[in-house]
Amino acid sequence: MSAVKIRITFLGTGTSTGIPMIGCHCAVCTSSDQKDKRLRTSILVESQATTIVVDTTPDFRYQMLRMQNERLDAVLFTHPHKDHIAGLDDVRAYNFFQHKPMDVYANALTAEALKREFAYVFADKKYPGIPDINLYTIDESFFSIGDIPIQPFTVWHHKMPVYGFRVKNFTYITDANKIDEPVKEVIKGSEVIVLNALRNEHHVAHFSLKEAVSLVNELRIPEAYFTHISHQLGKHESVENQLPSNIHLAYDGLMLDV
Ligand SMILES: [Zn+2]
Ligand SMILES: [Zn+2]
Ligand SMILES: [Zn+2]
């Protein structure tokens, strides 16, 4: 393992609707606790030399403004659902002041969706000022972006393959409810894991809180943070207080040095 230091920043930790959800007056959506305000799920992965965002949510622009982020080397996508790709157009700002195309890494399924949903970006005749993107299709082979080493792997989101990523001893998984046994071997040995935990009730495409806790225990990962949280899960503070001491709910703005 290289000695490169990695910082993770949670840009958003909410499910597809975000919290508060438009029109909802539940206790979570009306909570005054800042930790109950969740933009859509995304993280920043940074070394001294390289900055990567995992997914560009509908909140991407505001997330980057909020973190005062002024440098981005690449976008890495997990899967093509709208709450993970919708903000891609706003990489234009980085094109303008970094004076170069944005490198975008996605599996074949996601790359295909990006070409469909952002057709104007990939058109032969381009309107001036649209995003300038270099799209790289990745598979589960190990690769690096700058000095950040990345091991992609596939997890299951109902029937959709989603990429999780291991960066040194940090593993990031959003939008999954099933992990194949051989993939568990890729994850084991991580010191910190991020998993999605949508709500208490079972869901067809996401781990519930209980399922996420038992997976952390099964994989014997010492430290875990849950993300992609629904307003149905409850208030941050009360859920956090019920969790084992090594397992936490993530919240927007949380930073981890891994
Ligand atoms: Zn999602
Ligand atoms: Zn609500
Ligand atoms: Zn999804």
CA-nearest of 47, 97, 106 to 75 is 106
Mean local confidence (pLDDT), 191-197: 98
CA of 231 from ligand 3 middle (Å) equals 16
Only one residue has tokens 């952002």, namely 118
Q: How far is CA 29 from CA 21, 37, 84, 225, in A?
A: 7, 8, 21, 21
Instruction: Note residues around ion ligand 1 (Cβ under 5 angstroms).
Output: 83, 175
Q: Report how far residue 128's alpha carbon sits from residue 111's, in angstroms, rounded to the nearest whole number.
A: 22
pTM: 0.97
Encoded tokens for 215? 């997976």
Find the ligand nearest to 30 CA. 2
Confidence of residue 4 (pLDDT cuts 50, 70, 90): confident
SS3 label, residue 95: helix
Encode pLDDT of 149-167 as tens digits: 999 999 999 999 999 999 9
Instruction: Note residues around ion ligand 3 (Cβ under 5 angstroms).
Output: 81, 175
Encode pLDDT of 93-125 as tens digits: 999 999 999 999 999 999 999 999 999 999 999
Encode pLDDT of 121-148 as tens digits: 999 999 999 999 999 999 999 999 999 9
Find the ligand nearest to 196 CA. 1
Asked if residue 2 has pLDDT above 60, the reply is no
* Sign of the Cα pseudo-torsion (53, 58, 59, 64, in order): positive
CA of 99 from ligand 3 middle (Å) equals 32
Asked if residue 1 has pLDDT above 60, the reply is no
CA of 205 from ligand 2 middle (Å) equals 20
CA of 228 from ligand 3 middle (Å) equals 9
pLDDT at residue 254, as a whole number: 98
Encode pLDDT of 15-56 as tens digits: 999 999 999 999 999 999 999 999 999 999 999 999 999 999
